[in-house]
């Protein structure tokens, strides 16, 4: 018995002592988790870290009428298109101007643009120390220039939305105190200078390593989407045009906006030289890169009208054609965009691709397209008929079709950009019946078919819709924009300069409509600076329809409060037959002075005592 007790006691005591010796028990650390030292140890990881700088480039294909992934619905904020049929899309709050400073989009975009800024700065700080055996000097210089240029471009996108923003030179440490985090906004001109300087530096860094075998005006390793010398210069022209525009050039609306230390955030005196800087930057770009690197996209066809139609249709959907300067490469989200824009098509077989069909075009956009003869529909000589029907064959149709007169004999860009009722659909599948778009109330794509899969106006966006749904890039900047930027800036400081007409006409020529001038088929050129300005603005509206340009143009020109306060018109989608073709007000929208700049997210205003809010928020 005693032995048994001793034995068990021994076991118990040994058991207890074994346990207390487990002092390594808690020292387990995962050894395969990447640490930040490993980033610059090899070329692959370096490239992947740099890829994260590019990651937040907006992808408008992902657009679903709100902000939450990486989409940007700027086209629906302007007078081009809308999501009114989708009652649950929060984007309408912009149109109704019922936003608060804590609106999700304000916070989302703010954060998503500042994240790559931080990553880029960190990248620039560390790339020189990258493992030289893996990352050679050429790559180091190239990557550094890329990070620098992208950081500048994100800043450009930030100031375009929010006005002056804090320029942050070094990543704020995780342990930063509240005082260290209390940054103030950087005055607008300083922001612009910073962006320009950074783009210049990036350009120079690229230029310095450019060789004939490895040119830096073309993407490295055929990786389209990477920063090139052209991209640096093109965005320099963008930011200078923004700085020259009425919104930021002598706009007294913001005269009282100042940091807490009294620093004025907006330049108060109008400076005409800013237009010159913008024009020079655009011209500089053109001189260096056109036509060697970039040129206007054209398609040859025996019928000049068809050639223009195809060129205007395909310039945006032909991936990285030589007109493209900068794009979100190979977006995987194209299906979202096309679903929004392809009509519902109830009643056609499964071979016909069907969509939600609610990405509607506003009547004002439809009306902006010129007539085939190059005249605006408001011109008494344009031949525009407001009512009635004609037998008309559109460039995409196989035969003549009864067409509402408003949509007859318009310029090629109209047919490339807009889907209208009773038109031939581009993708017929193997349907035995002709697939015809019908937006009338009881039509195949009409309102009765669904709760929200219909067009609020009786039009849908057609631009950038193709038969297939394969991934391709979304073009953020193309040469045509540089041309019209140049024309616009030149007209502001040197009206009458022949380059104005030259570049404006290059766009019209490609669009297949008569040019301004004194030739036989020409339209009389605008004679005054104001008339020329109107012509340029109008041309921009049409050429860049649905390309996320108009919203920023209207703001730059201080025209938004006028244009975006008009009711949105459309066809009467609650009607059948001829009644459908009676225009009616679809929605009243509102744009007030405060809308010219987005609100700095209220969360950041609260966290940072030195951060002042934009007026009206």
Counting contacts by CB under 8 A, is residue 34 touching another protein? yes
Q: Which of 76, 78, 105, 116 binds another protein (CB under 8 A)?
A: 116
Residue 547, Cβ density class (10 Å: 0-12 exposed, 13-18 middle, ≥19 buried): buried
Cβ atoms of 59 and 328 closer than 8 Å: yes
Cβ atoms of 568 and 436 closer than 8 Å: no
- How many residues bind another protein (CB under 8 A)? The answer is 113
List the interface residues with another protein, window 232-251 (CB under 8 A).
none
Cβ atoms of 57 and 330 closer than 8 Å: no
* Orientation angle between helical segments 529-543 and 498-510, nearest 10 degrees: 30
Counting contacts by CB under 8 A, is residue 146 touching another protein? no
CA distance 243 to 249: 6
CA distance 168 to 152: 11
Q: Which residues pair with 477 in a beta bridge?
A: 326
List the interface residues with another protein, window 519-578 (CB under 8 A).
574
Span near another protein by CB under 8 A; candidates 190-198, 393-401, 469-477, 504-512:
469-477
Per DSSP, the three-state class of 75 is helix
Q: Shortest approach of another protein to residue 288 CB, angstroms?
A: 23
Counting contacts by CB under 8 A, is residue 446 touching another protein? yes
Per DSSP, the three-state class of 407 is helix
Residue 123: its H or E element? helix 104-127
Residue 87, Cβ density class (10 Å: 0-12 exposed, 13-18 middle, ≥19 buried): exposed
Counting contacts by CB under 8 A, is residue 432 touching another protein? no
List the interface residues with another protein, window 370-429 (CB under 8 A).
none
Assigned token pair, 89: 């899309």
> In this structure, are strands 423-424 and 436-437 parallel, antiparallel, or unpaired?
antiparallel
List the interface residues with another protein, window 60-79 (CB under 8 A).
70
Q: Which of 90, 263, 373, 431 binds another protein (CB under 8 A)?
A: 90
Q: Shortest approach of another protein to residue 361 CB, angstroms?
A: 20
Counting contacts by CB under 8 A, is residue 172 touching another protein? yes
Residue 476's Cβ-side half-sphere holds a number of Cα atoms within 13 Å equal to: 22
Counting contacts by CB under 8 A, is residue 166 touching another protein? yes
Q: Which of 42, 43, 118, 493 binds another protein (CB under 8 A)?
A: 118
List the interface residues with another protein, window 300-329 (CB under 8 A).
319-320, 329
In the complex with another protein, which residue's Cβ is closer, 109 or 560? 109
CA distance 579 to 153: 48
Q: Which of 41, 42, 45, 469 binds another protein (CB under 8 A)?
A: 45
Counting contacts by CB under 8 A, is residue 99 touching another protein? yes
In the complex with another protein, which residue's Cβ is closer, 10 or 270? 10
Cβ atoms of 337 and 63 closer than 8 Å: yes
Counting contacts by CB under 8 A, is residue 101 touching another protein? yes
Q: Which of 51, 132, 137, 208 binds another protein (CB under 8 A)?
A: 51
Q: Which of 164, 267, 356, 357 binds another protein (CB under 8 A)?
A: 356
Counting contacts by CB under 8 A, is residue 293 touching another protein? no
Q: Shortest approach of another protein to residue 452 CB, angstroms?
A: 6
């Amino acid at each position: 018995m005693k032995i048994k007790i001793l034995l068990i006691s021994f076991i118990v005591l040994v058991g207890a002592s074994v346990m207390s010796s487990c002092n390594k028990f808690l020292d387990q650390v995962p050894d395969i988790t990447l640490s930040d030292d490993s980033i610059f140890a090899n070329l692959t990881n370096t490239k992947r870290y740099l890829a994260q700088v590019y990651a937040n480039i907006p992808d408008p294909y992902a657009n679903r009428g709100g902000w939450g992934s990486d989409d940007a619905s700027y086209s629906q904020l302007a007078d081009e298109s809308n999501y009114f049929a989708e009652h649950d899309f929060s984007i309408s709050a912009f149109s109704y101007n019922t936003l608060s400073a804590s609106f999700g989009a304000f916070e989302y975009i703010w954060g998503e643009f500042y994240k790559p800024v931080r990553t880029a700065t960190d990248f620039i700080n560390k790339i020189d120390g990258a493992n030289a055996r893996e990352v050679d000097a050429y790559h180091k210089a190239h990557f550094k220039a890329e990070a620098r240029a992208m950081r500048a471009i994100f800043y450009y996108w930030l100031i375009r939305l929010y006005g002056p923003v804090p320029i942050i030179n070094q990543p704020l440490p995780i342990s930063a105190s509240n005082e260290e985090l209390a940054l103030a906004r950087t005055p607008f001109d300083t922001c612009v200078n910073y962006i320009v300087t950074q783009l210049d530096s990036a350009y120079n860094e690229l230029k310095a390593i450019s060789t004939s075998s490895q040119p830096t005006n073309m993407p490295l390793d055929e990786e389209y989407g990477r920063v090139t010398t052209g991209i640096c210069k093109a965005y320099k022209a963008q930011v200078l045009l923004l700085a020259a525009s009425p919104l930021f050039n002598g706009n007294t609306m913001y005269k009282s906006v100042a940091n807490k230390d009294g620093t004025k955030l907006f330049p108060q005196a109008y400076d005409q030289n800013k237009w010159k800087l913008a024009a020079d930057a655009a011209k500089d770009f053109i001189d260096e890169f056109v036509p060697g690197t970039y040129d206007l996209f054209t398609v040859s066809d025996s019928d000049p009208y068809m050639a223009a139609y195809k060129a205007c249709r395909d310039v945006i959907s032909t991936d990285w054609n030589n007109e493209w300067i900068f794009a979100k490469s190979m977006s995987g989200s194209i299906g979202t965009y096309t679903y929004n824009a392809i009509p519902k098509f109830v009643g056609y077989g499964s071979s016909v691709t069907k969509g939600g069909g609610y990405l509607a075009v506003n009547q004002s956009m439809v009306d902006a397209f010129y007539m085939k003869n190059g005249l605006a529909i408001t011109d008494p000589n344009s031949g525009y008929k407001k009512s009635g029907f004609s037998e008309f064959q559109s460039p995409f149709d196989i035969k003549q079709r009864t067409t509402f007169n408003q949509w007859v004999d318009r310029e090629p860009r109209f047919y490339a950009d807009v889907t209208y009722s009773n038109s031939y659909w581009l993708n017929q599948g193997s349907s035995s019946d002709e697939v015809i778009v019908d937006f009338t109330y009881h039509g195949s794509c009409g309102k009765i078919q669904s709760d929200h899969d219909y067009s609020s106006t009786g039009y849908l966006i057609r631009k950038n819709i193709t038969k297939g749904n394969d991934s391709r890039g979304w073009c953020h900047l193309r040469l045509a924009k540089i041309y019209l930027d140049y024309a616009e800036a030149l007209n502001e400081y040197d009206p009458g300069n022949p380059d104005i007409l030259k570049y404006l006409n290059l766009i019209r020529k490609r669009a297949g409509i008569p040019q301004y001038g004194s030739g036989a088929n020409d339209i009389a050129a605008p004679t005054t600076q104001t008339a020329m300005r109107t012509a340029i603005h109008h041309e921009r509206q049409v050429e860049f329809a649905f390309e996320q340009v108009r919203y920023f143009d209207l703001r730059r020109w201080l025209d938004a409060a006028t244009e975006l306060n008009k009711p949105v018109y459309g066809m009467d989608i609650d009607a059948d037959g001829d009644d459908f073709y009676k225009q009616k007000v679809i929605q009243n929208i509102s744009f007030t002075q405060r809308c010219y700049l987005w609100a700095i997210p209220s969360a950041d205003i609260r966290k940072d005592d030195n951060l002042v809010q934009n007026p009206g928020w």
